[in-house]
Amino acid sequence: MPFSLNIKGRLLTYNRPAVMGILNVTPDSFYAGSHTFNAAAIEDRAKQIISEGADIIDLGGYSSRPGADDVSVEEEIRRIRMGMQIIRKISPDIPVSVDTFRADIASEAIEKWDADIINDISMGQIDSEMFPTVARLRVPYILMHMRGTPATMQQHTDYSAYGNDVSAGVIAELSEPLHKLTLAGVSDIIIDPGFGFAKDLRQNYSLLNNLPAISRAFRRPVLVGISRKSMITRLCGIAADDALPGTVALNTAALLSGASILRVHDVAAAVQTVSVTQALI
C-alpha cells in the first residue's frame, strides 16, 4: 500500500513498494556477500545499493544471526559511525535506517551522523530507553517481532498460547509495544513480522501466507525481510549464496500480499521484482 515517512520534516511518499538495501558493517553476518568490514568495501557496497535503485539503506553494525558474537557498544558505535560517514559522502539525501537495539546508538546515529530511521529487531525489549529515545528524536521506527535475544530466539518458537497460530501470536505481541509507541507520540511506525526470529521453518511460511491479516490488523506499512534466509536455504537444502531465486519468489509473494518495503541483499533483483509485480496488480 502507498505510505509516507516524515524524514526530519521532509515528507517522502512511496506510491509503490520500497526497496531497502542491506549494508552490514560486520564480519559475521549469515550471508558472506553482505560483509563490508573496511572503508573501501563499505563505499563500494553503498554505491552499488544506490546505483541499483534502492529507496533506503539499512546500516547495521551488529549481526543478529543465531550464535553471532556479542559486539561492544564502543565497537558498534565505531562501525555505524564509519558507515554513516561513507554513505553521506556518497549521498547526502538517501534515507538511512540504522539497525540497532541500543538506544544510545540510535540517538548518536540520528543526532550526530545524520541517520533517518531506527530499525530495532527487539521491539524495545532489550533496551527500555529505546521507545522514549525514538519519541524524543521524532523519527520513523521499525517495530520488529522477536522473542528473547538473537542468541536465544530460536528457543522461543512455542505459540501454543495462541492456538499454535504464529500470526495471531505476532499480532498480539506487537500490539502492546505499538500502543506504547503511539502513546509516546511516535507517529511513523513500520511493522516487521520478524521472519526467522523466534519462528521455525513451518511458522515462517505460515506467517508469510497470513501477511494480509497482519497488514489489516495494524494498517501500517509492513516490512518483509526474507532475503537469503534459512526459510529458503533449509527448505531447498542450499547455501545462502544460492538463495537468490528463492528470495525473488518469496518477495513476489510478499508484494502480492501487501508488503510495503522489501529489505534485501540483492537490490537490482528486488527493484525488478517490484516493477513486475506492480504490473500484475
How far is 224 from 49, CA to CA, in rounded Å? 18
Active site residues: 229, 263
∠ Cα 62 99 146 (to 5°): 85
Residue 66's pLDDT is: 63
Residues 161 and 211 sit within 8 Å (Cβ to Cβ): no
* Per-residue pLDDT, 70: 75
At 97 the three-state DSSP class reads strand
Buried b / exposed e along 17-30 (16+ C-beta atoms within 10 A):
bbbbbbbbbbeebb
**pTM assigned to the model:** 0.94
Pair 17, 255: CB distance under 8 Å: yes
Segments of the chain with pLDDT less than 50: none
Contact 265, 22 (CB under 8 A): yes
Domains within the chain, CATH numbers bracketed = 17-280 (3.20.20.20)
3-state helix, strand, coil in the chain (%, to 5): 45, 15, 35
